[in-house]
Protein backbone atom coordinates (compact mmCIF):
# COMPACT_ATOMS: atom_id res chain seq x y z
CA UNK A 1 0.00 0.00 0.00
CA UNK A 2 0.99 3.66 -0.28
CA UNK A 3 0.61 6.49 2.21
CA UNK A 4 -0.27 9.85 0.70
CA UNK A 5 0.12 13.18 2.47
CA UNK A 6 -2.08 15.90 1.03
CA UNK A 7 -2.05 19.56 1.96
CA UNK A 8 -3.65 21.87 2.73
CA UNK A 9 -6.42 19.93 4.44
CA UNK A 10 -8.80 22.85 4.05
CA UNK A 11 -8.80 26.42 2.85
CA UNK A 12 -11.12 29.36 2.38
CA UNK A 13 -10.26 31.45 -0.65
CA UNK A 14 -11.47 34.57 -2.36
CA UNK A 15 -13.01 34.59 -5.80
CA UNK A 16 -10.46 35.09 -8.56
CA UNK A 17 -7.48 33.70 -6.65
CA UNK A 18 -5.67 30.37 -7.16
CA UNK A 19 -4.84 27.54 -4.80
CA UNK A 20 -2.20 24.86 -5.22
CA UNK A 21 -2.76 21.48 -3.58
CA UNK A 22 0.20 19.19 -2.95
CA UNK A 23 0.38 15.41 -2.66
CA UNK A 24 3.41 13.48 -1.48
CA UNK A 25 3.55 9.67 -1.75
CA UNK A 26 5.78 7.58 0.49
CA UNK A 27 6.90 5.38 -2.42
CA UNK A 28 7.46 5.74 -6.15
CA UNK A 29 4.30 5.37 -8.19
CA UNK A 30 3.70 5.57 -11.90
CA UNK A 31 0.19 6.97 -11.98
CA UNK A 32 -1.43 9.61 -9.81
CA UNK A 33 -4.97 10.87 -10.10
CA UNK A 34 -6.83 14.01 -9.09
CA UNK A 35 -10.53 13.93 -8.18
CA UNK A 36 -13.18 16.44 -7.20
CA UNK A 37 -16.27 15.85 -5.11
CA UNK A 38 -18.81 18.63 -5.35
CA UNK A 39 -21.53 18.74 -2.67
CA UNK A 40 -23.92 15.84 -3.10
CA UNK A 41 -22.01 14.45 -6.07
CA UNK A 42 -19.73 11.48 -6.65
CA UNK A 43 -15.97 11.56 -6.81
CA UNK A 44 -15.21 12.73 -10.34
CA UNK A 45 -11.85 12.24 -12.02
CA UNK A 46 -10.23 15.50 -13.10
CA UNK A 47 -7.04 14.16 -14.63
CA UNK A 48 -4.41 11.44 -14.62
CA UNK A 49 -0.82 12.53 -13.97
CA UNK A 50 2.14 10.46 -15.16
CA UNK A 51 5.68 11.51 -14.43
CA UNK A 52 7.45 12.93 -17.44
CA UNK A 53 4.38 13.61 -19.53
CA UNK A 54 1.51 16.05 -19.58
CA UNK A 55 -1.55 15.21 -17.55
CA UNK A 56 -4.52 13.67 -19.30
CA UNK A 57 -7.72 15.55 -18.55
CA UNK A 58 -11.25 14.16 -18.46
CA UNK A 59 -14.10 15.68 -20.39
CA UNK A 60 -15.18 18.94 -18.81
CA UNK A 61 -11.81 19.74 -17.24
CA UNK A 62 -9.13 21.88 -18.89
CA UNK A 63 -5.48 22.52 -18.21
CA UNK A 64 -5.90 26.29 -17.93
CA UNK A 65 -8.31 25.85 -15.04
CA UNK A 66 -6.60 22.88 -13.35
CA UNK A 67 -2.88 22.85 -14.19
CA UNK A 68 -1.09 19.80 -12.81
CA UNK A 69 2.59 19.16 -12.20
CA UNK A 70 4.25 15.78 -11.75
CA UNK A 71 7.98 16.51 -11.33
CA UNK A 72 8.93 13.05 -9.98
CA UNK A 73 7.50 9.66 -9.04
CA UNK A 74 6.49 10.69 -5.50
CA UNK A 75 4.94 14.14 -5.88
CA UNK A 76 2.19 16.00 -7.71
CA UNK A 77 0.37 19.30 -7.46
CA UNK A 78 -3.02 20.49 -8.67
CA UNK A 79 -3.78 24.20 -8.99
CA UNK A 80 -7.34 25.47 -8.99
CA UNK A 81 -7.09 28.71 -10.96
CA UNK A 82 -9.22 31.83 -11.02
CA UNK A 83 -11.58 30.34 -8.47
CA UNK A 84 -15.31 30.92 -8.28
CA UNK A 85 -17.82 29.69 -5.68
CA UNK A 86 -18.63 26.76 -8.01
CA UNK A 87 -15.12 25.43 -7.31
CA UNK A 88 -16.04 24.82 -3.67
CA UNK A 89 -15.47 21.08 -3.35
CA UNK A 90 -13.34 18.40 -1.82
CA UNK A 91 -10.26 17.69 -3.93
CA UNK A 92 -8.49 14.34 -3.55
CA UNK A 93 -5.33 12.90 -4.98
CA UNK A 94 -4.66 9.20 -5.31
CA UNK A 95 -1.94 6.85 -6.48
CA UNK A 96 -2.32 3.49 -8.12
CA UNK A 97 -0.60 0.92 -5.99
CA UNK A 98 -2.00 -2.57 -6.27
CA UNK A 99 -3.58 -5.23 -8.39
CA UNK A 100 -6.75 -4.46 -10.32
CA UNK A 101 -5.95 -0.73 -10.21
CA UNK A 102 -6.45 -0.28 -6.47
CA UNK A 103 -5.93 3.39 -5.62
CA UNK A 104 -4.70 4.87 -2.36
CA UNK A 105 -5.95 8.30 -1.43
CA UNK A 106 -4.90 11.40 0.39
CA UNK A 107 -7.21 12.80 3.06
CA UNK A 108 -8.53 15.51 0.76
CA UNK A 109 -8.55 19.29 0.59
CA UNK A 110 -11.82 20.96 1.57
CA UNK A 111 -12.01 24.16 -0.43
CA UNK A 112 -14.52 26.95 0.09
CA UNK A 113 -14.55 29.89 -2.31
CA UNK A 114 -16.24 33.10 -1.19
Q: Which residues bind other proteins (CB under 8 A)?
A: 4, 9, 31, 33, 35, 40-45, 48, 92, 96, 98-108
Contact call for residues 94 and 103 (beta carbons, < 8 A): yes
Least CB distance to other proteins at residue 82 (A):
27
Q: Which is nearer to other proteins, 48 or 81 (CB)?
A: 48
Q: Which is nearer to other proteins, 13 or 90 (CB)?
A: 90
The single-letter DSSP state of residue 53 is S
Least CB distance to other proteins at residue 36 (A):
11
Contact call for residues 9 and 109 (beta carbons, < 8 A): yes
Burial class (CB in 10 A: 0-12, 13-18, 19+), 101: exposed
Q: Which is nearer to other proteins, 20 or 41 (CB)?
A: 41
Amino acid sequence: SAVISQKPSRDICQRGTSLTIQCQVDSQVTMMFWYRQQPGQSLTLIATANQGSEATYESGFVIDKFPISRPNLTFSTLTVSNMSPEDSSIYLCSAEGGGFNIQYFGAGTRLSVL
